[in-house]
Structure 1
Amino acid sequence: MKALVLSGGAGTRLRPITHTSAKQLVPVANKAVLFYGLESIAEAGITDVGMIVGDTAAEIEEAVGDGSQFGLKVTYIPQERPLGLAHAVLIARDYLGDDDFVMYLGDNFIVGGITGLVDEFRSNRPDAQILLTRVADPRAFGVAELDPSGQVIGLEEKPDRPKSDLALVGVYLFTPLIHDAVRAIEPSWRGELEITHAIQHLIDSRADVRCTVITGYWKDTGNVGDMLEVNRMVLEGMDRRIDGEVDAASETIGRVVVEEGARIIDSRIVGPAVIGSGTVIRNSYVGPFTSIAENCRVTDSEVEFSIVLRDSSIQGVGRIESSLIGRHVEVTPAPSVPSAHRLVLGDHSKVQITS
């Protein structure tokens, strides 16, 4: 069995971060989202991975390499532009051959991994197996319709009027039968080959399409709010570890990770939080659910419920929260501007000024 990992896409909902960085490499608890997926694939006993890459191919290849750091063998498959999930399957045909495979969206995050799902698929070997989860607003997702017995009878891509609240999670398992389906469909109104259409083709052809409804944690980390939420969840599962330097005037409370080479000076860190190697926190407060990557500087400031990427500095800016701060960023106070009131007042005026 192989894996097909999708690591292309423009990441428009994470701009401006993704103007200069691949969305799959934005870190959660100081580790790229993509790496969590690759680790899950390796834990499921899959070693051969085809990785679909686009405009950010060079950055993805530099970060992942040949895959050996994850116990994987990675083959890169370039996609000229993002033309849909089914298009990714189409261009990976030669690599996938006649093997079963799991397709994993590289910016998705699933707690607990996919080992159970892969084992179930290997045991039963349906023609396709999809993951579903209940969401508050299914209009932003592919949506499944089930019959009373729980069998999948229909799929729609981002419908205006969803027939259920069951959204497709970004993990799919297929036999080689899917290759016939992706060749049989036409581009959608979005100009893309939709994987939902390909799976619907299987359903219409009376293929064995099964679903698993998950109740655990899943997120598509496509926007800042979801990134911060996943970061919060991962940090909550970390154990306290102080490998760096914390001076006597500082305080660390709860599940705090201070990586080797980091320095905490006259500051207060309240977990769960992680401070990357080489980072210096001075005369500052770092609050819960905050990840600060390597080689950052935080001075005379407060940061909470935020992600700060490597080589950035925050100095003297009071409080920052619910923020995603990119690489090599400098955050400093704005220069003070003298305030004045310029008035032209008629006779017998009465004016009240509060500042």
Structure 2
Amino acid sequence: MKALVLAGGTGSRLRPLTHTGAKQLVPVANKPILFYGIESLVEAGITDIGVIVGETEEEIHAALGDGARFGAAITYIRQQQPLGLAHAVLVAREFLGDDDFVMYLGDNFLVGGISALVARFAEERPDAGILLTRVARPREFGIAELGPDGGVLRLEEKPEEPRSDLALIGVYLFTPAVHEAVRAIGPSKRGELEITDALQWLIDQGRTVRPTVVSGYWKDTGNVDDLLEVNRSVLESVESGVEGAVDAASEIIGRVHIGEGARVVRSRIVGPALVGAHTTVTDSYVGPSTSIAGHCAIDNSEVEFSIVLDGSRIEGVGRIEASVIGRNVQVRRAGRTPRAHRLVLGDHSRVQIVP
């Protein structure tokens, strides 16, 4: 079995972060979200992986390399325009050949991996397998309607009048039957070749599309709120450890990992939290559900339930919460400070905060 990982989207819902980087490489718990998907595939025994790339191809390639670091072999497949998930299958036809494959959206996060799902699919080999979960806003997703026997009756992409609250998770399993389906469909109203239409074509042709309702944790990290929530979830399992230095005037509470070369001075850190390598935290408070990447500086400030990317500095700004700070950002005191700040800053931003 092969895998097709989609890493070519523009990440419009995560702007301005994604103006200067691939959305799949935005980190949660100091690791790019894309890495979690690759690791999940390898854990399931799938090591022949095709990665669909677009305008951010160079950045994705630099991050993943040839796949050896994951125990995989990666082939890069260029999709010139983001014309839909079914279009990605068309573009990858030569790579996929006549093998079964898993299609995995690179900005999705699924707790527990997919090993059991892959094993079941390989044993039973329906024409396609889909994962479903209940969502609060079904108009924003591909939605499945199931019959009394639990089989799939109908699939629709972002319906105006949803027939259920069961959304398709960004992990699909296919036999080569899907290649006929993606060739048979036409563009949707959005101008894309929808994978939901290809699946519906299989259903209409009497093929077997087997649903699995997932009760565990899943998130599409396409917006800031979900990104922060995934970061919180991953940090719940962080292992405590101090590889750097913590002075006697500092207090470390709960599950906190201090990276190599990091320094904590006259500060309080309450976990779960991560402090990256060669980062300094001075006269500050770092609260739960916060990940701070490497080579950052937090000085005379409070940061909680936030993500701070590499090389950023937060100095004398009071309290920041529920925020995502991009790479090499500077947030400094200016004139007058409100009690709390909520920020979404792109890479290389410069912000002055009123004291």
| TM tier, smaller | over 0.9
SS at match of 2:210: strand
Structure-2 change in CA distance of 1:146 and 1:336 (3 Å): closer
Q: Point out where structure 2 has 5 or more consecutive residues left out of the alignment.
A: 338-355
Matched, 1:270 2:261: no
Matched, 1:303 2:303: yes
Partner in structure 1 of residue 31 of structure 2: 31
Partner in structure 2 of residue 204 of structure 1: 204
Partner in structure 2 of residue 7 of structure 1: 7
Partner in structure 2 of residue 232 of structure 1: 232
Please list, as runs of the form range in 1=range in 2, the aligned pairs for 1:1-355 lying within 5 A after superposition.
1-335=1-335
Q: CA deviation at 1:11?
A: 0.2
Partner in structure 1 of residue 344 of structure 2: none
Amino acid at match of 2:284: S
CA distance in structure 2 between the aligned counterparts of 1:124 and 1:330, rounded to whole angstroms = 54
CA distance in structure 2 between the aligned counterparts of 1:286 and 1:264, rounded to whole angstroms = 10
Amino acid at match of 1:222: G
Amino acid at match of 1:54: G
Larger Rg: 1
Question: C-alpha deviations, 1:311-335, integer Å up to 9, x for none?
Answer: 0000000000000000000000124
Amino acid at match of 2:39: E
Q: CA deviation at 1:293?
A: 0.2
SS at match of 2:333: coil
CA distance in structure 2 between the aligned counterparts of 1:250 and 1:67, rounded to whole angstroms = 40
How many residues of Structure 1 are paired with residues of Structure 2 in the alignment? 337
Question: C-alpha deviations, 1:177-222, integer Å up to 9, x for none?
Answer: 1000000000001000000000000000000110100000000000
CA distance in structure 2 between the aligned counterparts of 1:72 and 1:286, rounded to whole angstroms = 36
Partner in structure 1 of residue 351 of structure 2: none
CA distance in structure 2 between the aligned counterparts of 1:165 and 1:191, rounded to whole angstroms = 24
CA distance in structure 1 between the aligned counterparts of 2:266 and 2:235, rounded to whole angstroms = 23
CA distance in structure 2 between the aligned counterparts of 1:42 and 1:106, rounded to whole angstroms = 14
SS at match of 2:121: helix
Q: Point out where structure 1 has 5 or more consecutive residues left out of the alignment.
A: 338-355
Question: Structure 1 residues 236-245 or 224-233, which shifts more?
Answer: 236-245
Q: TM-score, normalised by structure 2?
A: 0.94
CA distance in structure 2 between the aligned counterparts of 1:336 and 1:33, rounded to whole angstroms = 36
SS at match of 2:6: strand
Question: C-alpha deviations, 1:236-288, integer Å up to 9, x for none?
Answer: 11121111110111110000010111110110000000000010000000000
SS at match of 1:332: strand
Amino acid at match of 1:167: A
SS at match of 1:167: strand
SS at match of 2:4: strand
Q: CA deviation at 1:336?
A: 5.8
CA distance in structure 2 between the aligned counterparts of 1:123 and 1:245, rounded to whole angstroms = 51
